[in-house]
Amino acid sequence: MSDDEVLLSHDDGRGVRTLTLNRPHRKNALDDALWRALRDALAAAGEDREVRALVITGAGGAFCSGADISGGPRAEHPTYRMRMLSDVALTLHELPVPTVAKVTGVAVGAGWNLALGCDLVVATPSARFSQIFTRRGLSLDLGGSWLLPRLVGLQQAKRLALLAETLDAEQARTLNLVTWVVPESEVDAFTDGVCDRLVGGPPVALAQSKALLNEGVDRTLRDALANEARAQGVNFATRDATEAFAAFAQRRDPHFTGTWAVPPSLTDMNGSARSPGPGHEERLRQAD
């Protein structure tokens, strides 16, 4: 795998990591090396607690022209490659940090579904989108069969999948497949501004909300309410909840860190929970 198949740019001052698909000579089509690099880069971003937001984009004026099929049929069974695609889609979907796709030029096939797998999509007027699979004698992959009906409804999803139409950025936005359409000259600054707002949010609460929304599309109301109650318990165990109340009272912007509110005195040297003993409520108030 070439070291420059995926470019990593981590702004330590902001906590934003950018993954740039870097095969411009193929309009960033995903070959085996790029699939592996993307999977590993996504996993690394999810494990790095310094990363508070992730941007995926493409080099050379294109986002991604889908899977690279230039080599023709292969000897190996396709299930091996599909396993790699599934790993990428699931890792992206389950990342605990907010993700933003910055799309210029083409985003087709698996490339479009890579963008749709992100939480937010910023596109320029030059962006073009297509579920191109049927033109290649293939069916949807990289999560498209799950994503499209949830984003546009079943009938429109069938239109996009069966007819493989090409949409411009405004058409995609009308169908709720693009969050914002921004002029080319402004897209970098606009995406930076979105990321600044995400980085400024409470990281644990953002992760909880993202997971709740992702899970909620398949759940009953009873399931969703139980999950929301569980998530709020996690949020109240961070200092961010206390910080938000204090900032509101003091009429200032909150500073969110995602740190645990339970003081170290409540755990032993091995990190195991122990009985807090008398007076622990007062110590908690003092810790906050």
Coil, strand, or helix at residue 18?
Answer: strand
Q: Are strands 16-21 and 53-58 parallel, antiparallel or unpaired?
A: parallel
Distance CA 184, CA 186 (A): 5
Q: Residue 273 contacts by C-beta under 8 Å, 6 or more apart in sequence?
A: 266, 267
Tell me if the domain spanning 203-287 has CATH number 1.10.10.10. no
Sign of the Cα pseudo-torsion (195, 201, 207, 213, in order) = negative
Q: What pLDDT digit, counting tens, does each position of 62-98 carry?
A: 999 998 877 666 667 677 778 889 999 999 999 999 9
As annotated, the residues of the chain forming the CATH 1.10.12.10 domain(s) are 203-287
Determine contact, residues 144/107, Cβ cutoff 8 Å: no
The pLDDT of residue 75: 62
Q: Is the pLDDT of residue 277 over 70?
A: no
Determine contact, residues 178/169, Cβ cutoff 8 Å: yes
Sheet holding 53-58, edge to edge: 6-11, 16-21, 53-58, 99-103, 120-123, 180-181
In angstroms, what CA-CA distances link 90 with 84, 112, 222? 10, 15, 25
Half-sphere CA count of 75, side-chain side, radius 13 A:
0
Distance CA 197, CA 178 (A): 18
Query: What CATH architecture applies to the domain 6-199?
Result: Alpha-Beta Complex (3.90)
Token pair, residue 212, equals 């709740």
In angstroms, what CA-CA distances link 148 with 74, 105, 165, 216? 29, 20, 14, 16
As annotated, the residues of the chain forming the CATH 3.90.226.10 domain(s) are 6-199
Q: Is the pLDDT of residue 209 over 70?
A: yes
Q: What pLDDT digit, counting tens, does each position of 151-162 carry?
A: 999 999 999 999
Distance CA 104, CA 125 (A): 8
The pLDDT of residue 1: 41
Q: Is the pLDDT of residue 278 over 60?
A: no
